[in-house]
Each structure stands twice: as structure tokens, then as C-alpha cells.
Amino acid sequence: MRFRDLPLPSFYDPHSCGRWSYRPDPQALLAQASRYREEHAVLPSGEDAFDLHLLLIDEQKDFCLPEGALFVAGRSGSGAVDDTRRLVEWIYRNLSSVTRITATLDTHLAYQIFFSSFWIDRDGRPPEPHRVVTAAQVREGELRPNPAVAAWLSRGDLGWLAAEVLHYCESLERDGRYQLYLWPPHCLVGGEGHTLVGAVQEARLFHAYVRGAQSFTEEKGSHPLSENYSVLRPEVLVRHDRKPLGEKNVRLVESLLGSGALVVAGQASSHCVKSTVEDLVAEIEARDPRIASRVYLLVDCMSPVAVPDGQGGFVADFTGEAERALRSFARAGVHLVHSSEPLQAWPGLGGR
């Protein structure tokens, strides 16, 4: 196939990528899409000979804008805003080549095992966020589940809940991917922070209208007893009583691996992008390691979590974890690419 570099639509404003209040007008976009499609002779995605699938991970206001509860600033201080601008412009330029777009949504409720509200300390107070909860701390009673949670989560059985959270922390530590980390409340259902950044929503709707393609989403993270960094599965799948805690998203795995090429971007490179790609690579290696050559990470459209302490340092900085993950993905055969590079220059795509 011949990849085309299309012009940015006339309505696009780069400043919208950093504005909390920005909201696209779907009806106006529909009319603009019709004109753009005719002017540039863009064909419906159903006619694509090559299926290029874009996976947008958690491009939500709470992660991507400075006002958000968990802004992914990176070490630069403006990471996710810059990433969003590059990503949106990449979508517009490659509109006729992108067949499908799937957007994941981190989706949380008031009480989750990774929120302070779920826990109390020895004095009965909720702990501060941005701290690790270890199995040893749970075992020794330094932190324990909020008894109010047991009333609706385990039918008042606080002993069952205590055993479950200990099992959860032990399972995480045994797996070695993460320890339980307490985050500030973010991406709460019904709140503005849960929604996609306006400029991203605009780009995916414009793509849908121009190309006659559905705008798919995947929610993750609403189970109170498990983290769901990866959109492909929760961090822990089995409870302490050996009953299922969660399950793999087999349908999405098949959809992603069935793509001619899969392009991944979003937030954060140290957590939800990292976990999703780790799970994807594990699936690939179990099936056929050659499939990894069909996966492309837009590394300049993602940033790691780095939380400033207000004194020139960081409360938490996961840059190293993100960098190590990217090196690991490259060793597995995944391509690390930049949004400024034309698709023709991407390894494995140039001859199409």
C-alpha cells in the first residue's frame, strides 16, 4: 500500500491539546469530515488492504493535563501535553492509513485497593498517597483495610478482606512487576478527569467520521480488589481462596494481535503502557515471536510518571522503569518509533 501524509485539518488548534475546558463539537466535526474526505479522496477504512490499528492508552484528562489529579509531567514538566500534541498531529497526518483506533479508559470508583480511602493506619487514619504498601506492613498491622469497606465488599467479613489484601500484596511481590502503590484519586467515574482530552476525542471522532470507522473504547480498573495497569488483564487473577479475581481480556488480545500493524501510544510509559505492552509481548512470545515485528511504540507520544516535590526533586520518579521497559521491548522485536518519522520509513512498512 502507499502511505499518504495528509494536511492537518483547518479546525485543529495545537493549544487545544493542553486545555482542560476544550470540547469538540461532534455535529460540526461530522460536516467537516465530509468535506475533508472529499477534498483529499480518503477511502473508507473497510477498503483498507492493510489493517493498521492504533491503541491509545489512557489519554484522559487526569493524566494528560496539568490540572489533572495525576498529571504525567515526566521530568520535563510538560510531558503528557507535548505527547498529546504530537499524537494528535500524527493521527491527522496518517488519517488515511489508520484503519482502527481503540482508546482505553482507566476507570475507578471511590474505594479501590490502590487508593488511600481503602486503607487505615494504626491510628485509624487513611495513609497519604504516593507510597508503597508492602506485604510486611499488612502482616504487621501497620496498614489494614478500612472496616467500612468490608461492609459492602465482603459482607462484613473483615477477616476475609484482611486475608485477601495480604494475599494481593504477596502476589504482586512474588510476581516482581510492581508493589502495591497508593495513588491520589484519579479517573473517577462521573468526574471530568475520567474523560478523554478534548483534542484526542476530536481526533478520534474525526478519524471515525472521515473513514467510516467505529470509535471503540476499552474500560479497565473498576474492580476494588485489583489494579489494572494493563488493559489486557488485572495484575492479580486469583483470590486467596483460589476463586477468580479477574480474567484476561481475550477478545482484545485477539483484536490487537490480528492487526497488520499495531501502533501504541498513551500514558504512562512507566505504568499502563508498560504493563499493556509487557502482557502483549508475553502473548506474542507464547504464540510466535515474529509477531513482535508488527508492533510499533510511538515513544515520543508517551511519558513516565515523575511527581515533583516542589523543591527541585521528585516525590516519585519512574523514568528508569520506563526506560528499562522500552529496552526490553526492543530486544523482543518491538519497534521503537517517533511520530516525526513517515510510515514509509518504519521498519517493515516501507515496502507496503
Say whether both 254 and 322 belong to one domain: yes
Residues 24 and 82 both lie in one domain: yes
DSSP strand pairing (119-121 vs 143-145): antiparallel
Residue with C-alpha cell 529496552?
Answer: 327
Q: Are residues 259 and 124 in the same domain?
A: no
Phi, psi of 101 (to 5 degrees): -130, 130
Phi, psi for residue 174 in degrees, rounded to 5: -70, -40
Please list the alpha-helical segments (H only) found in the chain: 26-40, 61-64, 79-93, 135-139, 147-153, 158-175, 198-211, 250-257, 272-287, 319-331
- Asked whether the beta carbons of 130 and 316 are under 8 A apart, the reply is yes
| pLDDT value, residue 351 | 57
Tell me: the pLDDT tens digits for 159-217?
999 999 999 999 999 998 889 999 999 999 999 999 999 999 999 999 999 999 999 99
- Asked if the structure places residue 132 within a domain, the reply is yes
Classify residue 352: in a domain, yes or no: no
What is the pLDDT, as a whole number, of residue 1?
53
Please check whether residues 161 and 268 belong to one and the same domain.
Answer: no
- How many residues in the chain? 352
CA-CA-CA-CA dihedral for 293, 302, 117, 193, to nearest 10 = -120
Record the cell numbers describing residue 178, joined without a space. 510492581
Residue 7 resides in a domain: no
- Domain boundary among the residues 124, 150, 182 is at 182
The answer to the question of residue 248 being in a domain is yes
Q: How far apart are CA 4 and CA 187, in angstroms?
A: 36
Give pTM, 2 decimals.
Answer: 0.96
In the chain, how many domains are there? 2
Q: Which of 281, 308, 336 is nearest to 130 (CA)?
A: 308
Identity of residue 192: E
Please check the confidence at residue 100 and state whether its pLDDT lies above 60: yes
Q: What digits encode the pLDDT tens for the residues 280-333?
A: 999 999 999 999 999 999 999 999 999 888 888 998 899 999 999 999 999 999
CATH number of the domain encompassing residue 301: 3.40.50.850
Q: Are 214 and 80 in contact (CB under 8 A)?
A: no
Are residues 92 and 159 located together in one domain of the fold? no
Q: Is the domain of 96 the same as that of 146?
A: no
Same domain for 131 and 251?
A: no
Q: Let me know whether 153 and 293 are in one domain.
A: no
Q: What mean pLDDT is reported for the chain? A: 96
Owning domain of residue 136: 116-182
pLDDT score of 117 more than 70: yes
Identify whether residues 298 and 240 lie together within a single domain: yes
- Domain boundary residue, one of 159, 182, 205: 182
Q: What are phi and psi of 230, to 5 degrees?
A: -80, 140
Among 182, 211, 236, the domain-final residue is: 182
Classify residue 249: in a domain, yes or no.
Answer: yes
Residues of the chain above pLDDT 90, percent: 95
Which range (12-16, 27-31, 314-318) has the least confidence?
314-318
User: How many Å apart are CA 349 and CA 352, to the nearest integer?
Assistant: 6
**Do residues 142 and 43 share a domain?**
no
Q: Give mean pLDDT, residues 252-263.
A: 97
> What pLDDT sits at residue 316?
87
Local confidence band at 350 (pLDDT 50, 70, 90 cut-offs) = confident
Vertex 128 angle, CA 125 and 132, to 5°? 115
Q: Report the pLDDT averaged over residues 80-91.
A: 98
Residues 23/90, Cβ–Cβ less than 8 Å: no
Do 211 and 288 sit in the same domain of this protein?
yes
Answer whether the bond into residue 268 is a cis peptide, omega within 30°.
Answer: yes
Is residue 329 in a domain? yes
- Are 47 and 157 found together in one domain? no
Residue 188 lies in a domain: no
324 in any annotated domain: yes
